[in-house]
Structure 1
Amino acid sequence: MNSVHALRHLKSSLNLSESVPSALTPAQRSNFLTLTARGYATWRAHSLTLLTGQPFPLPREAQLFLHHARPRPGEWWLDAGTSAGFYAALLAQAGARVLAADLSPAMLRAARAHAPGARIDWALLNAERTGLPSASLDGVTIGATLNETRDPDALLRESARLVRPGGRVWLMYVARSGRFGQRALARAGGLTFPDPARVERHLRPLRRALLFQVGDVTFELYIRDL
Structure 2
Amino acid sequence: MDGQPQRKGNLNLAVPTLTAAQRSNLAPLTARAYTAWRRRSLTLLAGQPFDLRREERLFVAQCAPQRGEWWLDAGTSTGFYADVLARAGCHVLAADLSPAMLAEAARQRPHPHIDWAVLNIEDSGLPDARFDGVTVGATLNETHDPARFLRATARVLRPGGQLWLMYLRRTAGPVQGVLGYPAAGGLSFPDPAWVARQLPGCILTHGLTTGAVRFERHVKTAPEPHMPS
TM more than 0.5: yes
Does residue 52 in structure 1 map to residue 46 in structure 2?
yes
CA spacing shift, 1:12–1:30, aligned 2, 3 Å: closer
Go from structure 1 to structure 2 and tell me whether the alpha carbon gap of 1:221 and 1:14 turns closer, same or farther (over 3 Å shift). Answer: same
Could you list the structure 1 runs, at least 4 aligned residues long, displaced by more than 4 angstroms after superposition: none
Q: Which residue of 2 aligns with 1:38?
A: 32
- Who is 1:129 aligned against? 123
For residue 18 of structure 2, what is the amino acid of its counterpart? L
Instruction: Give the drift of 1:5.
Output: 2.4
Task: Choose between structure 1 and 2: higher helix proportion.
Answer: 1
Give 1:129 shift.
1.8
- Whether contact under 8 Å (2:12, 2:119) holds in the other structure is no
| Pairwise CA distance, 1:224 | 1.4
Change (3 A) 1:20 1:88: farther
2:2 aligns to what? Answer: 5
Residue identity opposite 1:144 in structure 2 = A
Unaligned stretches of 5+ residues in structure 1:
none
1: distance between equivalents of 2:162 and 2:50? 24
Structure 1 match to 2:76: 82
Tell me if 1:198 matches 2:194: yes
Compute the TM-score of the two structures, normalised by the length of structure 1: 0.93
Work out the CA distance in 2 between the residues paired with 1:99 and 1:178. 34
Per-residue deviation, 1:128 = 1.4
Residue 84 to residue 99, structure 1, CA distance change in 2 (3 Å): same
Which residue number corresponds to residue 225 of structure 2?
none
Structure 1 vs Structure 2 CA RMSD: 1.6
Note closer, same or farther for the CA distance 1:30–1:123 as it changes in structure 2 (3 Å cut): same
CA contact (8 A) 1:159 1:203 kept: no
Q: Give 3-state SS (helix, strand or coil) of 1:178's partner.
A: coil
Work out whether residues 80 and 145 of structure 1, in 8 Å CA contact, stay in contact via their aligned partners in 2. yes
- Structure-2 residue corresponding to 1:29: 23
Aligned AA (1:203): L
One-letter amino acid of the counterpart of residue 87, structure 1: Y
The change in CA–CA distance for 1:95 and 1:13 in structure 2 (over 3 A counts) is: closer
- Would you say 1:173 and 2:167 are equivalent positions? yes
Query: Does the 8 A contact of 1:19 with 1:124 survive in 2?
Result: no
1: CA distance between counterparts of 2:191 and 2:100? 30
When normalised by structure 2's length, the TM-score is: 0.92
Partner letter of residue 69 of structure 2? E
Alpha-carbon distance, 1:127 to partner: 1.2
Q: CA deviation at 1:16?
A: 7.2
Query: Does the CA-based 8 Å contact 1:148-1:191 persist in structure 2?
Result: yes
Q: How has the CA–CA distance of structure 1 residues 13 and 114 changed in structure 2, closer, same or farther, with 3 Å as cutoff?
A: closer
- Tell me what 1:111 maps to: 105
From the CA coordinates, give the structure whose radius of gyration is larger. 2
Q: Does 1:215 align with 2:211?
A: yes
